[in-house]
Chain A
Amino acid sequence: MKRDAAKQNLLSELLNQEDYKELGHSILLRNDTSGTSFLDYKSITIRELKEDSLCLELPKNVCQNGHSLTLIFFSSPLKTLIGKFPSVDSTSGIPIIGKVIEHLINEEKVNIEIKFTQYKPTLWNSLLETYEAQQRKISSLISKVKK
């Protein structure tokens, strides 16, 4: 986050995009048990990333406990509108298949945990690492200031 601004004298020249960018992924979801797709990725929030599972918040009625889901992760923001659930074999995103092991209703939304049954650990671990690196950036900033 240090900048070489020796010759600069305008505040606007010191704004660095990297500091303000949020890290996010858009998820497309197919409920393999009910045979329905959920493509409104803006309604899905990732809450927690675990070693071989994931916690999401999403609208009610997308899935139930025990349902099998296929998820495809894309870097945010998604640049194109997706009208159809992509093919898992040819997608540029990260596909993961899993089972809903926790389903908690929270007012208008539900919080679910999906335990992975088919996924590529290397891809998943690198995604985890991206979020951990973002946290490290934040922690390093805080440690410069806090005693």
Chain B
Amino acid sequence: MHPAFLGLITIILGVGGCIGYFWASNFFLDKVLFPPRGPDAGRNINRANMIRPWLFLAPAVFALGLYLAYPVVETLRLSLTNRVPGGGYEWAGLENYTQMAGDPKFREALFNNILWLIVVPALSTVFGLLAAQLTDRIKWGAVAKSIIFMPMAISFVGAAVIWKLVYDYRAAGEEQIGVLNAIVVSLGGEPTAWLTVPFWNNFFLMAVLIWIQTGFAMVILSAALRGIPEETVEAAIVDGANPFQIFFKIKVPQIMGTIVVVWTTITIVVLKIFDIVFAMTNGQWETQVLANYMYDKLFRANDWGVGSASAMVIMLLVTPILVWNVYNARKEMR
């Protein structure tokens, strides 16, 4: 069967199934199980209203449980076991973790990921704040915003190709077709294969993600800047503050909360970064990161124990943000 046809059937079945489920379960609840008629009408309405939320929630709770909650537990279990040839698992305790900790590739991945965690959220937020503040003050700001925001729509893989062209390297003396090397050569430098220079190549990969995430930071920070009460800025101007003082001493402190949200959101993206490294260097030349290390272990080395252990490391790094988000959400709901 042609996949497009299959897709169409799935849409019809999926959408029809969803609507059918919700309609039929509500119908059953109201007409058959607890009809709001007869001697028990009042009690039946109450009972129906107790059950109905769970009818609405059931598919979502099922999918969330199966696709996100269960895997956390299962990955934890897999990371503590080893696969026995021929099927089955045996308890391995922390063996996978110690094995992983001894793997130089893992240390490299952890080190690089920490580097990413420091550099990318910081620079994306700074560039985003800069872009937000500057574009808010000019007439063609909307167009400028659109352009800076645009990389958000481009896939990590597409961005990898775009930036590989920027970093392209030809031997010295040949015509350079990568912008970066062309600039270096025109300034009298030697062309360099940027992605193969250990340590520094990490920064060339990070540039790709910063390029993508700056737009996101800009959009959110720009909204926050516009939400600042004008009186505070006016008062500062009357008091003779210069534009830099207004920005750093009046505006930035007032949007600190939003800056933190942007920072943490980008941090989560960074922790999961996979495609850029996979497509540009695949972890060669000391550019390994955790998610790509995990993919290597799971699907190339077929080592589920160590692979799951490295996935748990990513989960562990995400956990503080998770707790902080939940704490804030609950505080806000009260």
A and B pair up = no
